[in-house]
Amino acid sequence: MNMLICEAALNNRQTAVLTVRQMEDVDRLSVAAGVTSYELMANAGAAIAHQIERHWTPRPVVVLCGPGNNGGDGFVTAHVLAEAGWPVRVAMLGSRFSLKDEARHHARRWQGDVEALSPSVLEGAELIVDALFGAGLGRPLEGQALATLAAASEGGVPIIAIDMPSGVMGDTGEAVGAVPAALTITFLCKKPGHLLLPGRDLCGEVIVVDIGTPKAVVDSIAPRIFENSPAVWLASLPGVKTTTDKHSRGHALIFGGYPMTGAARMAARGAARAGAGLTTIAVPEIALSIYAAALDSIMVRPWVTPEDIGHLLNGSRFSAWLIGSGAGVDKETFGHVLAMLASGRPTVLDADAITAFQDEPGVLDRAINGPCVLTPHEGEFRRVFDAAGDKLTRTRAAAFRCGAVVVLKGSDTVIAAPDGTAVINANAPPTLATAGSGDVLSGIILGLLAQGMPAFASAAAGVWLHGEAAAEFGPGLLADDLPNLLPGVLRRLHEVWLPVEATQAHVSVSHSD
């Protein structure tokens, strides 16, 4: 799978996601480029203080400083707020004299007292700044840090986290003693922990600030992780022209199951609403009347023998296909999947089509030889892939192993390509936890694939559109509602994002599958 990635990689810093190690490299390269570490820390603290002033009026603040650079940022923040007339106190884990380099320099500039960190320092505070550890913490919180943050959370006072709530792992989102922040202020780009659960929920509002990192340094970083956004895939989104006809918009084929017929019907509606010019469901003959009675613009084709299926798959009329929605976990589904993959045409495998290979996952890996998207939930993923590690790591490993785009669904869905590129989605509301929503998602991805959109872009766009549609509906969502919400989302996409895309640089992630 060849990939054209990041034509303007970090021009959209809200989209690119950098690991903790990459951010360390950014700081190192910035210093090499002539920006001192003292300046970077001063800029960081000033930006944090500015955001606090934007969100709150002056009130008593306690800044909790740690023994590293996050603590140095805290000292700068305290100094800037105090100069602006805010009542500020500082408490520290350890001694400010044990700080090193730029952190020690900025700690010396603080003219007030430095109290020992403990829950008692929170008395009278109306805002708390967490500058204890940030994203680089590699162990669970303990001792006074754990006790003080727990007391802060119990007291209900807003917490502002610098970089990352202390106790959230920057690369994984794992929480090891962290408490919820009202606001998290980070630098240059988000990290995976800002988007992956449970870290995302603990961060509150996340604001990314510029601290003067040189553009040359930014350009030298090649991100492989992105927050899902139209900026990632908009350049390859299929359009409709005056010369377009239904055949040029692609023909999507779905294999429908029996007696579970609703899943394939919802997937078909998702494909059609996503723009496929024609959509057909191939069904066992016994189910023909059920499907036909429930569908109007969706065509239904019966099949009786394996030869009927062969004729469908060997013909040229279908541009992409989907199997899994209500298909059943049996040898028949196993065989249909292999026949589809042998064609080399764009294929979406969902639900039962994935689980059918739980005893022979290697067969699935070897069979994938064209554009392919797998859309498992956690249970289905664990049946065919290694479940060890954090969500981002295991999704990327699964995509690499099988040679397909893998969409590991959830509130923090991760989409990964075989080359390691990944997108983390953050717009999906919890109302999507309803029966059939995954079937609609696989249908949306199919509809985009059928129109010629590359596999990775189709998966990322489908997940984002799915989340936007659900967010628009609100409480009481049923999966049946989602397809009819897509036209409104697509209309706004063209009204809001396309004009911006035409005038600004954007992150382009597309594939030649």
Would you list which residues are annotated within the binding site?
69-73, 130, 134-140, 163, 166, 263, 326, 377, 409-413, 438-439
Would you list which residues are annotated within the binding site for AMP?
409-413, 438
- Could you tell me which residues are beta bridge partners of residue 284? 303
3-state secondary structure 415-434: EECCCCCEEECCCCCHHHCC
- Rounded to 5 degrees, φ, ψ at 432 are -70, -10
Per DSSP (E only), the strands in 312-409 are: 320-323, 347-350, 372-375, 405-408
Distance in angstroms (rounded) separating the CA atoms of residues 58 and 228: 36
- Could you tell me which residues are beta bridge partners of residue 424? 227, 414
Residue 278: count of CB within 10 angstroms of its CB: 20
Q: Before 198, cis peptide (omega within 30)? A: yes
Tokens of 427: 């717009």
In whole angstroms, how far apart are CA 424 and each of 11, 166, 236, 487?
18, 22, 19, 24
Tokens of 177: 């003693």
Q: Are 53 and 220 in contact (CB under 8 A)?
A: no
Instruction: Residue 226: name the closest of 9, 422, 508 by CA.
Output: 422
Q: In this structure, what DSSP letter does residue 224 have?
A: -
Tokens of 139: 């162990």
Would you list which residues are annotated within the binding site for K(+)?
70, 130, 166
Packing angle between helix 437-450 and helix 482-492, nearest 10 degrees? Answer: 50
3-state secondary structure 97-155: HHCCHHHHHHHHHCCCCEEECCHHHHCCCCEEEEECCHHHCCCCCCHHHHHHHHHHHHH
Would you list which residues are annotated within the binding site for (6S)-NADPHX?
69-73, 134-140, 163, 263, 326, 377, 439
Burial 38-58 (b: 16+ CB within 10 A, else e): bebbbbbbbbbbbbbeeebee
Which residue matches tokens 């996340």?
A: 206
Tokens of 426: 């953050």
